[in-house]
A and B are shown apart, each in its own frame.
Chain A
Amino acid sequence: MTIMKPENEAALAEMVKTAQGPIRIFGGGTRDIGGPTEGEVLSVAGLSGVSLYEPGALTLVAQAGTPVAEIESVLAAESQRLAFEPMDHRALLGTSGTPTIGGVVAANVSGPRRIQVGACRDSLLGVRFVDGQGRILKNGGRVMKNVTGYDLVKLMAGSWGTLGVLSEVSLKVQAVPEASACVLLYGLEETAAVDAMSAALGSPYDISGAAHAPIGIDGHSATMIRIEGLEASVAYRVEKLKALFAGAGAEIHVERAPQNVAAGWSWVRDVALMQGGSGDVWRLSVKPSDAPGLVARLREEHPDIKVLYDWGGGLVWIETPAGRDLRTTGFAGHATLIRASEETRRTLRTFHPEPTPIAAITKGLRARFDPRGIFNPGLMG
């Protein structure tokens, strides 16, 4: 199999323009999510490198194929980071390769800090991409506030390559706070855990992570509340949160060692609980207070499902027996099938079905951005 591997944006545009058939767009190939696609592989790994970084303006511009690790190390040298904490899908999906920033953007990958700082799309300031006709297009820029014309930046984030091949992205970055802490509540059942997370998120204490594992790292129910900031401020908020949870009926423990706080949140971010398993993995986006009831209904049918709540309960990871369609369990929100066999992905579809008028808009947009329908056909349905 030949792989198209342009070394710059102009070559990328030329390859798209002259493509004779469908194209599967690859960053690092670590996020094998979506409907199975046919077509010639186009790797953007050759478009690599940080082209601009202004720590004092909190902005970074990088070619789409730049490894996430490279960006993280460039940022770390200035004590900065990607605020939205993108998940690494490799262990969960059993993939190998090098995650790229273009892949992160194309899949709008966000982590636990989503509840505080927004998703990947909220940190994305600008894009350059090549559309289905091989035109090099741009939208947004590298400034924090920009309402000049339509916001195609948001549209490109999470479009999974179906609208264009990203060539460059600009991102707003964040300073790494000097201190962090994780307040752990042991022993809460799920409704009480979501209530506790809601109380924390509804407090003035600026929570940067709120997750609950019915079976945590050490096998017990654990609710995790993260706070970050100046040392004096973190210490103050830890005490306030302990007081807030005093009546919750949980055993309270405070983790202050930075490496332990980081490890705990990587465990949540990368859904370690479901790594190496054989079931299907679903990602449900729901109203937080709906989550425990939904899980309880699923347990009536499948008592052994694995569950992880993030985003204060608004994001629920569920591992189910293969082939079970979670969408038949009625709920308000969205269910995305993240890990499943090709066969299951074909029959159940990865993305939540859209209402007719929305599906028509989606179809119309794709037809305008990619008139020949060559980009990742079938991936989003």
Chain B
Amino acid sequence: MEMPVPDQSVIDRKAHIVAQLRAVLPADAVIDDEAETRAYECDALTAYRCPPLAAVLPSSTEEVSAVLKICHREGVPVVPRGAGTSLAGGALPTADSVILGVARMNEVLETDYDNRFIRVQTGRTNLSVSGAVEENDFFYAPDPSSQLACAIAGNIAMNSGGAHCLKYGVTTNNLMGVTMVMMDGEIVEIGGAHLDSGGLDLLGLICGSEGQLGVVTEATLRILRKPEGARPVLMGFDNNEVAGQCVSDIIKAGILPVAIEFMDRPCIRATEAFAGAGYPDCEALLIVEVEGSEEEIAAQLDRIIAIARTHNPVELRESASAEESAKIWLGRKSAFGAMGQINDYMCLDGTIPVSQLPFVLRRIGEMSKEYGLDVGNVFHAGDGNMHPLILFDANKPGDLELCEAFGADILKLCVEVGGCLTGEHGVGIEKRDLMVDQYAPEDLEIQMAVKDIFDPKWLLNPAKVFPLASSDTRRMAAE
């Protein structure tokens, strides 16, 4: 993965820049020692690493503003970082950049149950937002699988989803307002405790902009009352196509499960070996979860099971207790770990129209043979968000490159059938160069024009999202 050549004039001024940062931040909030900056050399896309010029850990919106003013004046690229869990390299630094980590900003600022929102600093982890309202039986809905570690800042940057977004939506559908610092240090408020501000929907634009438009330091998030209960049903099929049809029929029947998860045979076998969840050895497995009171759950599961029976399932297992529910989810939740046990893997995130599931799964199987690399599929079937896991051996020369080429082919296939490159992980550096497969040059041009308005000097996370060749002139002009 190519990254821009770092600006030597910035690197040469390191001492001068760090001194200015130290003047506005507490001593322990500026990290410039080469051994220590290494902690920020990568995110969860660990194949690519580069220590930053320095890292800063501000504690307030005002400190973030002070840092950005300095970097703006000095022409230093800034890479915002939440918890560093990006799978797409969204927080990967360059040698001339300052990492701006929001980890120290993790306070709850306001909780309002009557109006159903919470206002937090964005360094707070996703799960601890729900944790802050749990005693009143409320929760924050988006639940990316990294939710124990990932920060709200990163969730907003990537517009993160999760298993339960079929019913509750992704981050952008649950974000009501932000406090954001612009690259020049100006602090702006967008949205708030009310819905639908007039004027252009800048909140919607900022969510998912991968830290390229501003640094979001505070967020107003919608909180919901927890459902009375939830229960899954597990069903196995001897054919992907039939499983796909079953998903479609459930959706068409007007039942809205909170989650419909899909696993294919390679993934089922790997998780069985790893976690022993007692899954049937079949071609395709669905886990469908519904919510409500005991009676409501029973009514929904009755319908779902009746639909499933019309597709001749090889297995149909309705949970009857919390223990059984946990066991049904155990395999799904350990799927990534199980695949990781077999080998190194690359996790893709393309989304396709649900109707294309059988075709795409078949094509991935064929390509797997052509490339000679195994693939397991585990994904959110209700919304078509696939997560093919390609297995490779990082120690074998050429295997990573082969895996990347295979991954690119799968993502191109997703686009061809009417889908997209990424459903919830973001573009980062990982899918940057594939953007030309989804968008025409002018479609990318108008997106880059948006960045011009927020960050005219292209200093915020500049080497991400757009193919380097497309953003070249803009980044160069800014230097």
Interface residues in A276-303 by Cβ distance below 8 A to B read 285-289
Given the interface contacts A118-B169, A201-B116, A351-B199, does A147 sit within 8 Å of B384 by beta carbon?
A: no
Asked if B444 and A368 sit within 8 Å, CB to CB, the answer is no
Q: Which of A90-98, A228-236, A252-260 contacts B (4 or more CB under 8 A)?
A: A228-236
* Complex CA–CA separation, A202 to B195 (angstroms): 16
Q: Does B293 contact A (CB under 8 A)?
A: yes
> Quick check: B295 and A352 within 8 Å, CB to CB?
no
User: In the bound complex, what is the Cα–Cα distance between A271 and B400 (angstroms)?
Assistant: 60
> Please, how many angstroms separate the alpha-carbon atoms of A227 and B253 in the complex?
18
Are B198 and A311 touching (Cβ within 8 A)? no
Q: Is B311 an interface residue (CB 8 A)?
A: no
| Residues of chain A in range 94-149 having any CB-CB distance to chain B below 8 Å | 108, 110, 114-115, 118-119, 121-122, 131, 135-139, 141-149
Which of B51-59, B99-107, B352-360 contacts the other chain? Answer: B352-360
| Residues of A with C-beta under 8 A to B189 | 355
> Interface size bucket, A side?
35 or more
Q: In the complex, are the beta carbons of B254 and A177 less than 8 A apart?
A: yes
- The answer to the question of B21 belonging to the interface, with a C-beta cut-off of 8 Å to chain A, is no
Q: What is the number of residues of chain B that contact chain A, defined by CB distance less than 8 Å?
A: 94
Considering the chains assembled together, what is the distance between the CA atoms of A254 and B446 in angstroms? 52
Q: Which residues of A contact B465 (CB under 8 A)?
A: 149-150
| Set of chain B residues within 8 Å of A108, measured between Cβ atoms | 196, 201
B204 lies within 8 A of A230 (CB): no
Q: Which residues of A have CB within 8 Å of B204? A: 121, 151, 153-155, 157
A192 proximity list for chain B (CB < 8 A) = none
Query: B385 touching A141 by the CB < 8 A rule?
Result: no
Instruction: Name the A residues within 8 Å of B431 (CB-CB).
Output: 148
Cα A88 to Cα B157 in complex, Å, equals 35
Are the C-beta atoms of B208 and A150 separated by less than 8 Å?
yes
A158 touches B201 (CB 8 A): yes
Residue on A with the closest CB to B209?
A150
Q: Check A154–B420 contact: CB distance below 8 A.
A: no
With A142-B418, A334-B194, A365-B200 as contacts: A150 and B116 at CB distance below 8 Å: no
A59 to B259, CA, bound (A): 18
Which of A203, A351, A355 meets B188, CB within 8 Å?
A355
For B164-179 the 0/1 string (1 means CB < 8 A from A) is 0110011011000000
Tell me whether B114 is interfacial, beta carbon within 8 Å.
yes
Interface of B is mostly: loop
Task: Give the complex CA separation of A362 and B300 in angstroms.
Answer: 46
Closest residue of chain A to B449, judged by CB?
A368
Contacts of A136 in B (CB 8 A): 442
A330 at the interface (CB under 8 A from B): no
Q: Mark A236-276, 1 if CB is under 8 A from B, else 0.
A: 10000000000000000000000000000000000000000
Residues of A within 8 A of B438 (CB): 148-149
A79 within 8 A of B: yes
A155 touches B205 (CB 8 A): yes
Residues from chain B with Cβ under 8 Å of A178 in the complex:
254
Partner among B112, B193, B420 whose Cβ is within 8 Å of the Cβ of A146: B420
- Asked if B169 and A236 sit within 8 Å, CB to CB, the answer is no
List residues 146-180 of chain A with CB under 8 A from any CB of chain B. 146-155, 157-159, 162-163, 175-178
Instruction: Tell me if B292 is interfacial: C-beta within 8 Å of chain A.
Output: yes
Interface of chain B residues 125 through 173 with chain A (CB within 8 A): 137-138, 158-159, 161, 165-166, 169-170, 172-173
Q: Given the complex of chains A and B, what is the CA–CA distance between A176 and B424 in angstroms?
A: 28
Confirm or deny: B37 has a beta carbon within 8 angstroms of a beta carbon on chain A: no
Given A57-B355, A151-B204: A287 in contact with B193 (beta carbons within 8 A): yes
List CB contacts (< 8 Å) of B424-477 with chain A: 424-427, 431, 435, 438-440, 442-444, 446-447, 449-454, 465
25 interchain pairs (CB within 8 A)? A56-B251, A57-B355, A59-B353, A118-B173, A122-B172, A141-B418, A143-B383, A145-B385, A146-B423, A147-B159, A147-B423, A150-B205, A151-B172, A154-B172, A155-B200, A198-B115, A203-B225, A204-B225, A204-B227, A233-B300, A285-B196, A357-B182, A358-B188, A358-B190, A361-B188
Interface residues of B (CB under 8 A from A): 112-116, 137-138, 158-159, 161, 165-166, 169-170, 172-173, 182, 186, 188-190, 192-205, 207-209, 225-228, 248-249, 251-256, 292-293, 295-296, 299-300, 303, 351-355, 380, 382-385, 418-427, 431, 435, 438-440, 442-444, 446-447, 449-454, 465
The 4 closest A-B pairs by CB, nearest first: A154-B204, A175-B254, A56-B248, A145-B423
